[in-house]
């Protein structure tokens, strides 16, 4: 924890700087770029039936989009308005009326013909619904009927056969906390959240190396740092207002570097609507690119360190911050021995970059007095995601970029709730204020007044696989309670996920809108529970941003939807129905204020949350910098360098490594078929022009991307992607990824794979005799049981 307090928002310079312009032609005429004005007008039109409420949400609420963090239209980084089209696109989720007419009770096949976008457009879920096995339609039930049915199921099964999951868009800390407490009260540790498929490796790696579980710095540290590096992170698309921070940084001379297989157009140049010169002429964001192979980051960073150690041999202190290392860091010699033992050949092959380019990057960092490293899914969504992040931490420790101004490590979060979810304990490896370890368990048991289950809970991927365990198995998933989440459109291998969903006896979907996963059958019944948005919650709610700002979002006056309830209230109700007598004794907090007061006791770093009561209230836990002064919350106060071996990806000569990217979307919610930054359609397969020429495939030709896990039917689009690599849109590309392959420390599923690409006509002509087809019983790679990375035992699938 740091002592220094955040200094508050900074001011942008008033004079323009033409050297940063993308083009002297105004408004990016002739260029592929987002159309912010058009998108804003579209938002006004879409919310025309509820404009005053929409305005109040934007001006008073805390954004429910990404976790950059903004209260109303103001943030803590820059003076001036903070608004983006992502927030505007999501606005309709909050202003839409209830689903009209008989749609909710239509034949299930009619609903199943709709896409998730069409289901979303239907409006809000107004009241509880149930669909029993064999029934063709949902039917309305009372809250009592729905909750009693769920409670009865809880009482009838072993708690190890029940699991909770919570999404990250819009949920508040109060909801996560109540869900975490309820799950343990009901005897299960199977509770997980959306960070499992995004940043769980970040937390695991940060804990392992530094003892922290969140960004070590604040956004204001970007502004004026010598080097700002984005690793596998397209912030211009996913956290759009961050482009304003990058602009501010560049105005102070910061060098911006992007490490990514695809030269993402949005990170090359962006038209920032709230900065007049940028809105007119655009801003060049990246100063340089390092187009690594998919999965080549570890090799790349080993190359950087190898170069540094060579520099040190020639001139001690020319690359490493030796004073910082000797005072604050362990493991230098082991790391040195490991890296020096690696060959440049292997590093170049693995990273896809020549030694000279790696040396250029190493030299830039060696000369920098300060640096901030930001990363996202490009590093985490790998079966070695924790090791990827560990390498970034290794670089920062070797350069002393930690715990001081303009330095730090930032896993930038894409969902408004996700930072708080694990910190509130909605995670199999966490409890409020700590890990799932004996000391924290004891502390929380005292506070909560009941005994916690001691066995290790499962990550959500394993939970879903457990639905396919044989009947009678002690860990077979029989009741799955999910707040938000659309697993069919977020997890690898959707066919397998559907089997899992259908094999669960009772599935409960607590949500504000319909999605495709809710329409899957269940063995006994599917129950839908209508939730309130964060803006409708009595007593307001809080959410924690990437930079650890805990913002208060007040209840906002406006229309309310049918029988929708506060999510925390639904969990509390469930606890009381399953074990009424004990709940009366230990589940007492029944207002948002009382929950916040309890959070402050349960999670000591959240002390202060109990005082958040009105619009604009906030605090930053941990201060400006975690590990301030280089002192880490580890047993000896020192950071840990960890040697990381190359993952050794060796694709076949005729194969590609494929990964996914995002377009006009928020998580799995797609808002446009065309990616505004690249012009790519969602069916497009992005490939390097030289690779396309070698394959004899022209732009726009139909292709099949295939491997033993699935097939993707799309169109080829040439783009500046590193050779031998492909990019597809997420989640469409998920059909190509294996299920059951998890990162061993944090449990994130693998979202990268080797594929082959062929013209569609060639594929069809050959497929019957040449290719294996995907069959239901085809064995896939054996699942790797993840260990917690937090000192807990690995989750078990077969207990
Ligand atoms: S950048 Fe993120 S926090 Fe800011 S308005 Fe957009 S979605 Fe909301």
Q: Which two tokens stand for residue 259?
A: 């490490």
Which pLDDT score is estimated for 777?
Answer: 36
57 lines ligand 1 (CB under 6 A): no
Query: Are the CB atoms for 200 and 749 separated by under 8 Å?
Result: no
H-helix or E-strand containing 70?
none
Which pLDDT score is estimated for 694?
Answer: 97
For the stretch 701-755, pLDDT in tens is 999 999 999 999 999 999 999 999 999 999 999 999 998 899 999 999 999 999 9
Dihedral sign computed on CA atoms, order 488, 490, 496, 497: negative
549 lines ligand 1 (CB under 6 A): no
The bridge status of strand 525-530 relative to strand 129-132 is: antiparallel
10 Å CB burial of residue 683 (0-12, 13-18, 19+) is middle
- pLDDT score of 790 more than 80: no
Query: Are the CB atoms for 27 and 48 separated by under 8 Å?
Result: no
| Atom from ligand 1 closest to the CA of residue 67 | 3
Give the CB-side neighbour count of residue 539, counting CA atoms within 13 A.
Answer: 20
Q: Which two tokens stand for residue 221?
A: 């540290």
Q: How far is CA 725 from the centre of its chain?
A: 23
- pLDDT score of 771 more than 70: no
For the stretch 195-238, pLDDT in tens is 998 899 999 999 999 999 999 999 999 999 999 999 999 999 99
> Cα(85) to centroid of ligand 1, in Å?
8
513 lines ligand 1 (CB under 6 A): no
68 lines ligand 1 (CB under 6 A): yes
Whole-number average pLDDT of the chain:
93
| Atom from ligand 1 closest to the CA of residue 416 | 3
Distance, CA of 234 to CA of 244 (rounded, Å)? 14
Tell me the percentage of the chain whose pLDDT exceeds 70. 96
Q: Which two tokens stand for residue 425?
A: 């304990």
Query: Are the CB atoms for 789 and 208 separated by under 8 Å?
Result: yes
| Atom from ligand 1 closest to the CA of residue 69 | 3
Query: Are the CB atoms for 747 and 786 separated by under 8 Å?
Result: yes
The bridge status of strand 283-284 relative to strand 288-290 is: unpaired
For the stretch 664-713, pLDDT in tens is 898 888 989 999 999 999 999 999 999 999 999 999 999 999 999 999 99
Find the angle CA(667)-CA(292)-CA(402) to the nearest 5 degrees: 75
Average pLDDT over residues 170-192: 97
pLDDT band per the 50, 70, 90 thresholds, residue 784? very low
70 lines ligand 1 (CB under 6 A): yes
Backbone angles phi and psi of 151, in degrees to 5: -65, -40
Query: Are the CB atoms for 56 and 556 separated by under 8 Å?
Result: yes
For the stretch 421-436, pLDDT in tens is 999 999 999 999 999 9
In 3D space, the residue among 512, 529, 563 whose CA is nearest the CA of residue 92 turns out to be 512
10 Å CB burial of residue 276 (0-12, 13-18, 19+) is exposed
Distance, CA of 752 to CA of 446 (rounded, Å)? 44
Query: Are the CB atoms for 388 and 298 separated by under 8 Å?
Result: yes
Query: Are the CB atoms for 108 and 545 separated by under 8 Å?
Result: no
> Cα(676) to centroid of ligand 1, in Å?
17
**Residue with token string 């790797």:** 784
Which pLDDT score is estimated for 788?
Answer: 34
Distance, CA of 582 to CA of 570 (rounded, Å)? 17
| Atom from ligand 1 closest to the CA of residue 241 | 1
CA dihedral 15, 16, 18, 19 (to 10 degrees): 70
Query: Are the CB atoms for 364 and 257 separated by under 8 Å?
Result: yes
Our mutation pick for probing the ligand 1 site, out of 61, 68, 664, counting the most ligand atoms within 8 A of Cβ, is 68
Dihedral sign computed on CA atoms, order 30, 33, 37, 38: positive
- pLDDT score of 108 more than 80: yes
- pLDDT score of 630 more than 60: yes
Query: Helix (H, G, I), strand (E, B), or coil: what is residue 395?
Result: helix
Distance, CA of 564 to CA of 566 (rounded, Å)? 7
414 lines ligand 1 (CB under 6 A): no
| Atom from ligand 1 closest to the CA of residue 240 | 1
In 3D space, the residue among 422, 445, 446 whose CA is nearest the CA of residue 434 turns out to be 422
**Residue with token string 């497929």:** 767
For the stretch 544-594, pLDDT in tens is 999 999 999 999 999 999 999 999 999 999 999 999 999 999 999 999 999
10 Å CB burial of residue 569 (0-12, 13-18, 19+) is buried
452 lines ligand 1 (CB under 6 A): no
475 lines ligand 1 (CB under 6 A): no
pLDDT band per the 50, 70, 90 thresholds, residue 168? confident
Average pLDDT over residues 180-188: 98
Average pLDDT over residues 356-364: 98
Which pLDDT score is estimated for 791?
Answer: 31
In 3D space, the residue among 370, 406, 400, 403 whose CA is nearest the CA of residue 221 turns out to be 406
240 lines ligand 1 (CB under 6 A): yes
88 lines ligand 1 (CB under 6 A): no
> Cα(313) to centroid of ligand 1, in Å?
46
Our mutation pick for probing the ligand 1 site, out of 63, 81, 90, 247, counting the most ligand atoms within 8 A of Cβ, is 63
66 lines ligand 1 (CB under 6 A): yes
């Amino acid at each position: 924890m740091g002592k220094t307090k955040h200094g508050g928002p900074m001011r942008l310079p008033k004079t323009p700087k033409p050297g940063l312009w993308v083009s002297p032609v105004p408004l990016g005429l002739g260029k592929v770029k987002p159309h912010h004005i058009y998108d804003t007008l579209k938002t006004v039109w879409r919310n025309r039936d509820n404009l005053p409420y929409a305005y109040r949400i934007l001006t008073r609420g805390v954004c429910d989009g990404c976790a950059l963090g903004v209260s109303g239209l103001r943030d803590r980084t820059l003076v001036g308005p903070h608004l983006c089209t992502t927030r505007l696109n999501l606005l309709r989720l909050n202003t839409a009326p209830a689903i009209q007419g008989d749609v909710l009770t239509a034949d299930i096949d009619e609903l199943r013909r709709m896409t998730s976008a069409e289901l979303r457009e239907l409006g809000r879920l107004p009241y509880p619904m149930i669909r029993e096995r064999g029934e063709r339609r949902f039917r309305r039930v009372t809250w009592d009927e729905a909750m009693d049915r769920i409670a009865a199921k809880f009482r009838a099964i072993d708690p190890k056969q029940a699991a909770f999951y919570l999404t990250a868009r819009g949920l508040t800390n109060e909801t996560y906390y109540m869900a975490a407490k309820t799950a343990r009260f009901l005897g299960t540790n199977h509770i997980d959240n959306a960070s499992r498929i995004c940043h769980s490796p970040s937390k695991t790696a940060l804990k392992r190396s530094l003892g922290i579980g969140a960004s070590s710095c604040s956004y204001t540290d970007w502004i004026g740092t010598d080097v700002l590096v984005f690793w596998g992170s397209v912030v211009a698309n996913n956290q759009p207002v961050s482009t304003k921070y990058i602009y501010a940084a560049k105005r102070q001379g910061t060098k911006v570097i992007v490490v990514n297989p695809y030269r993402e157009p949005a990170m090359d140049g962006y038209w920032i609507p709230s900065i007049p010169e940028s809105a007119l002429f655009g801003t060049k964001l990246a100063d340089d690119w390092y187009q690594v192979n998919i999965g080549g980051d570890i090799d790349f960073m080993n190359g950087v360190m190898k170069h540094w150690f060579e520099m040190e041999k020639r001139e001690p202190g020319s690359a490493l911050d030796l004073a910082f290392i000797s005072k604050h860091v362990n493991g230098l010699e082991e790391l040195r021995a490991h890296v020096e033992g690696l060959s440049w050949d292997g590093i170049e092959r693995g990273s896809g970059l020549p030694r000279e380019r790696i040396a250029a990057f190493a030299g830039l960092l060696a000369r920098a007095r300060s640096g901030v490293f930001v990363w996202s899914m490009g590093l985490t969504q790998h079966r070695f995601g924790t090791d990827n992040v560990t390498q970034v931490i290794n670089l920062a420790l070797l350069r002393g970029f930690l715990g001081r101004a303009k330095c730090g490590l930032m896993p930038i979060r894409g969902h408004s709730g996700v930072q708080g979810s694990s910190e509130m304990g909605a995670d199999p490896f966490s409890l409020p204020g700590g890990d799932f370890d004996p000391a924290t368990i004891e502390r929380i048991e005292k506070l909560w007044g009941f005994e916690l289950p001691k066995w290790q809970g499962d990550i959500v991927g394993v939970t879903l696989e457990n639905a396919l365990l044989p009947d009678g198995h002690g860990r077979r998933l029989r009741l799955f309670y999910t707040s938000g989440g659309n697993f069919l459109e977020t997890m690898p291998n959707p066919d397998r996920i559907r089997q899992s969903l259908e094999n669960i006896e009772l599935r409960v979907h607590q949500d504000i809108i319909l999605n495709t996963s809710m329409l899957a059958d269940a063995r006994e019944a599917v129950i839908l529970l209508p939730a309130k948005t964060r803006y409708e919650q009595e007593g307001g709610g809080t959410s924690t941003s990437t930079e650890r700002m805990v913002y208060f979002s007040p209840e906002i006056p406006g229309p309310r939807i049918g029988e929708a309830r506060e999510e925390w209230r639904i969990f509390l109700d469930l606890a009381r129905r399953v074990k009424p007598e004990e709940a009366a004794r230990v589940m007492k907090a029944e207002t948002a204020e009382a929950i916040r007061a309890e959070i402050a006791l349960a999670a000591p770093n959240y002390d202060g949350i109990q005082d958040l009561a009105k619009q604009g209230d906030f605090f930053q836990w941990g201060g400006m910098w975690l590990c301030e002064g280089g002192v880490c919350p580890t047993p000896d106060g020192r950071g840990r360098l960890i040697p990381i071996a190359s993952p050794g990806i060796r694709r076949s000569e005729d194969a590609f490594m494929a990964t996914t990217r995002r377009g006009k979307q928020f998580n799995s919610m797609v808002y446009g078929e065309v990616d505004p930054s690249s012009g790519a359609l969602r069916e497009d397969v992005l490939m390097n022009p030289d690779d396309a020429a070698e394959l004899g495939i022209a732009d726009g030709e139909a292709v099949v991307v295939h491997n033993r896990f699935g097939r993707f039917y799309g169109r080829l689009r040439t783009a500046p992607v590193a050779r031998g690599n492909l990019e597809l849109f997420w989640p469409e590309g998920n059909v190509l990824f294996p299920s059951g392959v998890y990162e061993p420390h944090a449990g994130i599923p693998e979202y990268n794979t080797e594929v082959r690409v062929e013209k569609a006509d060639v594929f069809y002509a050959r497929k019957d005799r040449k290719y294996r087809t995907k069959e239901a019983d085809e064995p896939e790679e054996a699942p790797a049981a993840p260990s917690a990375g937090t000192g807990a035992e690995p989750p078990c699938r077969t207990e």
